[in-house]
Structure 1
Amino acid sequence: MDLYDVVIVGGGPIGIACGLEAKKNGLSYLIVEKGPIVNSLFNYPINMQFFSSSDLLEIDNIPFISKEAKPKRNEALEYYRRIVTSNQLNIHLFEKVTNVKKNHNLFSVTTEKDSYTAKNIVVATGFYDIPNRIGIPGEDLPKVSHYYKDPHFYASQKLIVVGASNSAVDAALECYRKGADVTMIVREPEIGQRVKYWVRPDVINRIKEGSIQAYFNSNVKEILEDAVIVDTPEGTIRIENDFVLALTGYMPNFEFLEKLGIQLSDDEKRLPNYDPETMETNVNGLYLAGVICGGMETHKWFIENSRIHAPIIMGSILKKAAQNVNV
């Protein structure tokens, strides 16, 4: 069984950045990803455009050239894929980590395909895997999805979009323009302030003109085969419906973090315990990188402000290794 200086769990942009930093510093490393390269980005909507400009999505100072200032999903996939292939990063794809155990000073990493031993672990798994469920009857019906991919699917259909975040607004606008009859159910009094600034006026105007129906301060109470029951300020209503996009956000895999022994805060934020100076958790040799550091505050960390985690982590690993040599 190979012994690695570091095994990186997650092959998204920050996991890739950690791999680049490890390679650059002569550390033996392995990136393990349960899906394709940058799995979360691959599962983004087909036409998604990033909020950030391309230069802020760069890792390791490798230029990211895009047609527009703010790149689209397909350009990001090309950028990160080329980084992985051109740098010949040691990455195992479609290999899900099932368990990580620490024995003395070494970690045993078990996947669906193999097992590995490492001196250090970096968890860079993001938060896109587990949707925030509404918790209502009918949420498991086939007509309901917590992920949005392509607007063509909803053409000529009565579509309910639950939520008012970037993903919900993008879905509502794209599906409306492909011929869907779109209704938004928003529990807040307005479209979210964090919605992309060039998109927010568009959806507000579509709602004002009646192209998209919206119910604010409202909640979905039940999903039926052919309708949705909604609690509104004016009372409970029934809306005839074909499909529901419940785009109410996502969360990290807290169960996996707790299984690793990482302490989480007791409040609703569920913040993991780590040292921001080193990114090391309460488990010695176990590090966090990327958006997962924010717990339920998934709006706190992005590629542009968490790419610095890679050099911080590898710097800590190198420092500890040097200290052990000198002991």
Structure 2
Amino acid sequence: MNQLLDILIIGGGPIGLACGIEAKKAGLSYLIVEKGCLVNSLYNYPLNMTFFSTSERLEIGGLPFVSLNAKPTRSEALEYYRRVATTYSLNIHLFEEVLSVNRIDNAFSIHTPKKDYKAKNIILATGFYDVPNLMNIPGETLPKVRHYYHDPHFYAFQDVLVVGANNSSVDAALETYRKGAQVTMVIRDEWIGKRVKYWVKPDIENRIKEGSIKAYFNSNLTAIREHEVDIQTPEGKITIANDFVLAMTGYQPNFSLLQKLGITMSNDLKCIPTYDHETMESNQEGIYLAGVVCGGMETHKWFIENSRVHAGMIMKAITDSLS
């Protein structure tokens, strides 16, 4: 018979780790289950990424995050959260995806490829980085199309098209350009995104202004082929040579998992899941939401720095319910 856990946490990112820390402090039995590596989303960020936030705003568990820079880097964050997991000896199973969850009496049965678990409560801290927003255009499934960008060196001396105008798109455009790529951006609006990091925005605007990076504003990518792409611009359709497409079109939470768990969402394009803003409990008793997943398609609403408090809120609700 498997041990009946007080809490099973789905997701081993920063907020999942924060929930594990709070569960341990509260003396509750818990397990963190992560389908990838530790802080998997951060691992898949671009190699040279710099956070918008300062290091202290990314801290969890009261453990100081010391950075050599004003804004910490991806590699520093990976080292920090690995140190958090080690310092707190967190109970975490990596590379173990949750396949199904079923309610049995007053508990949940959780099935993974490696083992089945039983828990009184579940915390979903699954983030949003695993499911890219698709363009749904011909050729999007070609191997040359990437929804994740990692290392700019790979694109040296290639014709690269970047879709989008927010932080990930701008970083990809600038970094690949500086490695020798011929970069074209396709932007559906008439300007660079307003949320682009303030120290980067002038750089991309100047590169576009001087012609080093070609940008088509008020435009859409309409088709992708092996060696070229079609772009619908205000002046009409054009076709340009292309080796790689970096479709930085954003990402979304794992809505299929939310639906399987019976969690309702707002009936609009935002798809915001239902939860109590004081306890973080969803419309399903015993299932709590933490982190970016709470924002639905508004993935810019919740970050590490403003959602790390969810861990304490959830743990208070669970301890109150168990007392």
**TM-score, structure 1 length as denominator?**
0.98
Q: Hey, what does 2:74 align to over in structure 1?
A: 73
Give the share of equivalent positions with the same residue, in percent: 66
CA RMSD of aligned residues (A): 0.5
SS class of match (1:211): coil
Map 1:184-223 → 2, pairs under 5 A: 184-223=185-224
Deviation at 1:60, TM superposition (A): 1.8
Distance 2:236 2:279 in 1: 52
Q: Hey, what does 1:168 align to over in structure 2?
A: 169
Map 1:93-104 → 2, pairs under 5 A: 93-104=94-105
Deviation at 1:87, TM superposition (A): 1.3
Distance 1:31 1:143 in 2: 35
- Give CA-to-partner distance per residue, 1:32-73, whole Å, 9 cap, x none: 000111000000000000011101100122110001121000
Deviation at 1:112, TM superposition (A): 1.4
Say whether residues 1:129 and 2:112 are aligned partners: no
Deviation at 1:122, TM superposition (A): 0.1
Counterpart of 1:279, as a letter, is M
Distance 2:99 2:232 in 1: 41
Q: Hey, what does 1:48 align to over in structure 2?
A: 49
Distance 1:103 1:276 in 2: 26
Distance 2:183 2:114 in 1: 43
SS class of match (1:315): helix
Distance 2:104 2:216 in 1: 54
Counterpart of 2:138, as a letter, is P
Distance 1:226 1:91 in 2: 45
Q: Hey, what does 2:309 align to over in structure 1?
A: 308
Distance 2:267 2:256 in 1: 14
Deviation at 1:220, TM superposition (A): 0.4
Q: Hey, what does 2:119 align to over in structure 1?
A: 118
Counterpart of 2:123, as a letter, is V
Counterpart of 1:215, as a letter, is Y
Q: Hey, what does 1:290 align to over in structure 2?
A: 291
Deviation at 1:178, TM superposition (A): 0.4
**Structure 1: any 5+ residue segments left out of the alignment?**
323-327
Distance 1:102 1:169 in 2: 44
Deviation at 1:200, TM superposition (A): 0.6
SS class of match (2:172): helix
- Give CA-to-partner distance per residue, 1:267-307, whole Å, 9 cap, x none: 00001000010000011110000000000000000000000
Distance 1:188 1:112 in 2: 44
Distance 1:3 1:85 in 2: 24
Q: Hey, what does 1:325 align to over in structure 2?
A: none
Deviation at 1:104, TM superposition (A): 1.7
- Give CA-to-partner distance per residue, 1:178-236, whole Å, 9 cap, x none: 00000000001010000000001100000001110000000001001110100001110
SS class of match (1:202): helix
Q: Hey, what does 1:180 align to over in structure 2?
A: 181
Deviation at 1:85, TM superposition (A): 1.2
4+ residue runs over 4 A deviation = none
Distance 2:87 2:38 in 1: 13
The aligned length equals 322
Distance 1:309 1:69 in 2: 26
Q: Hey, what does 1:260 align to over in structure 2?
A: 261
SS class of match (1:193): coil
SS class of match (2:99): strand
SS class of match (2:222): strand
Q: Hey, what does 2:33 align to over in structure 1?
A: 32
Say whether residues 1:11 and 2:12 are aligned partners: yes
Distance 1:92 1:311 in 2: 22
Distance 2:240 2:55 in 1: 41
Distance 2:169 2:51 in 1: 14
- Give CA-to-partner distance per residue, 1:230-281, whole Å, 9 cap, x none: 0001110001111000000000010100000101111000010000100000
Counterpart of 1:196, as a letter, is K
SS class of match (1:236): strand
Map 1:229-244 → 2, pairs under 5 A: 229-244=230-245
Counterpart of 2:29, as a letter, is S
Counterpart of 2:212, as a letter, is S
SS class of match (1:274): coil
Say whether residues 1:20 and 2:25 are aligned partners: no
Deviation at 1:103, TM superposition (A): 1.3
Deviation at 1:2, TM superposition (A): 1.4
Deviation at 1:165, TM superposition (A): 1.0
Distance 1:216 1:317 in 2: 49
Distance 1:245 1:192 in 2: 17
